[in-house]
Structure formats: structure tokens, C-alpha cells
Structure 1
Amino acid sequence: MSNLPVAPPAFDAQVKARVQRGPDVGASCALVFLELLALAVIVVVWPFLDHFDLDPASDIETVSLWRYLPALGGVAVVAFVAAVLAGRARATVTVVSQGSMAVLVTLAFFGGAALQSHQDARDCPVVCSAE
């Protein structure tokens, strides 16, 4: 009786996990690419086009980060929501990548806010300083 063939298991959890890892990695890479593209537009293209001027006689105005920080915060919120939704779908690669993107963009947001706040306080005239 020991020579009987053994049937393969009806449900193999390891095979199922490997099959679903591909779309998880693909979605994670696509989301990170789109977020990096959005960050490049917010940080590089938008300020460049906002202050592009061919008139040499025009005054140069300082760049304030307050105009760009809400868009940066929006990218952080999208990354956080994507991480939460991926967690509910048990897509671990997407959770890790979107969670790290949310943390990094949030740090950039608060760093930019602190930098602009410091710059505003330094450029404040004597009239608006506390007495």
C-alpha cells in the first residue's frame, strides 16, 4: 500500500502568495513612479513656469513655498490613502512603498513649512516683530 501515488495539495498557500506578488509589485512601482512624477512637477516645473519671465527689466520676486506646500501635502495624503487601501487588500509591497513615500513626502512638507516660516520671520520688518 505504500506505493500508491500521492495527489498534490488542493490549496497551496505559497503558490497563491507568489502569484499575487507580481501585480502587487507592478502596482507599487506604478504608484511610486506617478508620485515621483507629481513631485517633480510640483517642485521643479511649477516654480519654473510660475517665475518664467523674459523681460530683463522686471523685478525678481522671491519664491514663497507656501504656494506649493498644499500640493505637496496632497501627494502625501494620496500616498497614505494608497498604503491604507493596499493594507486592506494585503498587498505588502505596496503598503511598504506607499508608507515610505507618505513618510518622506510628509517630512519634506514639514521641512519646507519650517524653512519658509524661518525665512518669513527673518525677512519681517521691525514693525511686525513682537514687542
Structure 2
Amino acid sequence: MASKTNSASGNVKWRIAAYLWQAVRAHGWCVGVALALLLAARLVPVSFPVLRKRIVDELGAPTVVTLPVFAILGYAVVRFISDTFNEVRDVAFSEVTQRTMADLIVRTFSHLHHLCARFHAQRETGAVIRDTE
């Protein structure tokens, strides 16, 4: 009995993965933009040590006050740019997420409505619907 459960669980996982892959392909350009923005948001903070090196090189013999000030300002700018990329990514990907979730919810409830009455009576699916409301 356990192998049947594992097999059914694996089948459901593959069906969900296939559905999500179709959603990614349907919204290819939005997904591409979101991935590019995600990559940019991850690369910007990595650039801070390079920025700090340039600050030190340009100052030549930095004084005690100027280096920390430039480092703090540089960190603030890098942090702001990174957060901006993350926010723009969320905006670009929100439409894809909302459409995909709405389609998945409609398909799930449609599947539940097409099941026989015996299934609903045995499993008390009405409780699930009350909980989701």
C-alpha cells in the first residue's frame, strides 16, 4: 500500500511540475526579465568590495575620515540599487504569479467538482471548502 501512495505522490509532483513548466513557457518574457533582475540584484552587492577597492585606489593615501564616509555612502548606494532590482523583479513577475495561481486554483476546484459524491462523503471535502472560504 505504501508503494502505491508514493507512486501517486510522485505522479502528482510530476503533473504539478509539468503544469508550472507550461506556465513558465507561456510567460517566457516575463520570467526572463524576472530572472535577469534577480541576477542583477544578486550581483550588485557582490560588487561592493570592488567599489571599495576603487575608492581606496582613487584616494591614494586615504585619511581617517574620508574612507569610512565613502565606504558607507557606497554601501548605501549598492544596497539601494539591490533593493530596487528586487522590487522591480517582483512587479515584473507578479502578473505571472497571479495568473498561474488563479489557473491552478480553478483547475483544482474544477477537479474537486468533477469527483463523485462518494469521494466527497468519505473525505469530507466540504470542510476544505469551508476552510478556504
TM-score range, shorter chain: 0.3 to 0.5
Structure with more relative contact order (C-alpha pairs < 8 Å, separation 6 or more): 2
Which has the larger helix fraction? 2
TM-score between both structures, scaled by the size of structure 1 = 0.41
TM-score between both structures, scaled by the size of structure 2 = 0.40
